[in-house]
A and B are shown apart, each in its own frame.
Chain A
Amino acid sequence: MTQWKNFTKGFLRENPVFILLLGMCPTLGVTTSAINGLGMGLATTFVLVMANLVISLVKDIIPNKVRIPCFIVIIAAFVTIVDLVMAAYFQALHEQLGIFIPLIVVNCIVLARAEAFASKNTVLTSIIDGVGMGLGFSFALTILGGLREILGSGAIFGHKFIAGDGILIFVLAPGAFIALAYLIAIVNKINKSSI
């Protein structure tokens, strides 16, 4: 597999949200607007890349039996860094995302990539995988957030372009499930026709 393919697989073919169905909690929880989705996506991307980098470096030192706890501690360390940095520099976004920032640590994508990819591949390949998967996740979250923002409040990235109130339900909890259901159906359709 070429590095380019390795990078692009996260967008559609192996998109963590639409295809692999990993990391559903932040996907549904924070995507009330496009900017929240993007912020969450980028925070997760940072953790993914750094965790993949460190894990692929130390994979030969860690005994096989205790690898999962070791991975979790490495991931938790980077999550703490993201949490503190965001609290310092992006306070408004940090408040919006709230509890979902510390919860990146139990986001299945990060651990899944660590276990399934970084622990078996070289450093460079693992970093590229982390960037690709992270951007694929950000892409999915931004699309879902944008869709909900447009339908729910007639705005995108905070710029209002449709007058009126919009369909409130899409900003509330049920809208997350319904919007994601249709997005997954559409992505499945696209993937089927491209094969």
Chain B
Amino acid sequence: MEYFTIVTSAIFVNNIVLAQFLGICPFLGVSSKVETAIGMSAAVVFVMTLATIVTYLIQNYILIPLNIGFMQTVTYILVIASLVQMVEIILKKVSPALYQALGVFLPLITTNCAILGVAILVIQKNFNLLQSVVFAVANAVGFALALIIFSGIREHLDLVDVPEGMKGVPVALLTAGLLSLAFMGFAGLVK
């Protein structure tokens, strides 16, 4: 039941993009086509889960025992950056097909604040390892859901006659606002 709460809360109620405003850059940047949105989502699911596990272990077995908690930000960003590089190299060797699909999105992920954000949130919420993994996967799915819905809407938006001043970014942001409004409907789902 506890895990069910974590999952529904992360995907619907506190959606990482639409309610917590993490990962807005890729949300606006790679959402013009559904295909690229799916690729980006897959890469985020993969990296977010890995990064959260690794940073969780580092926090609890290195930073806390050595009493250097203040190094959190520096350590995390370095770990995430090198992890992304490593994933890229391994994928290239092991699964060229997957690399083809995710390759271009991997470098972009380092500066996706959703990854670092989730890694820090897990520590702030005092989750144990299993809860952290569930939380990371659920948030990544939430990100994917928001991104794919948004890109679907944006594809249709291209065909619509938008007022001159609102073309491009403003109308995309308005759409995101309405989507966020729709997600607020889930608010009563989890206490």
Contact = CB atoms under 8 A, between A and B. Distances in A.
A162 interface: no
A180 B124 contact: no
Contacts of B20: 29
Contacts of A189: 165
Interface stretch (B50-58, B96-104, B136-144, B173-181): B173-181
A69 interface: yes
Interface string A154-170: 00000000000000010
Contacts of A106: 77, 110-113, 116
A76 B113 CA distance: 13
A108 B25 contact: yes
Interface stretch (B1-9, B32-40, B66-74, B151-159): B66-74
A80 interface: yes
Nearest to B18: A173
B81 A105 contact: no
Interface in A54-83: 69, 72-73, 76-77, 79-80, 83
A72 B81 contact: yes
A76 B165 contact: no
B113 A25 contact: yes
Contacts, number: 107
Interface in A160-195: 169, 172-178, 180-182, 184-185, 188-189
Interface of A: 21, 24-26, 28-29, 69, 72-73, 76-77, 79-80, 83-84, 99, 102-103, 105-108, 111, 169, 172-178, 180-182, 184-185, 188-189
Given A99-B121, A105-B73, 9 more contacts: A24-B25, A73-B74, A76-B78, A83-B73, A102-B72, A106-B112, A108-B25, A177-B173, A181-B172
11 contacts: A25-B21, A72-B77, A72-B81, A80-B72, A80-B73, A99-B121, A102-B116, A105-B73, A173-B180, A178-B177, A181-B171
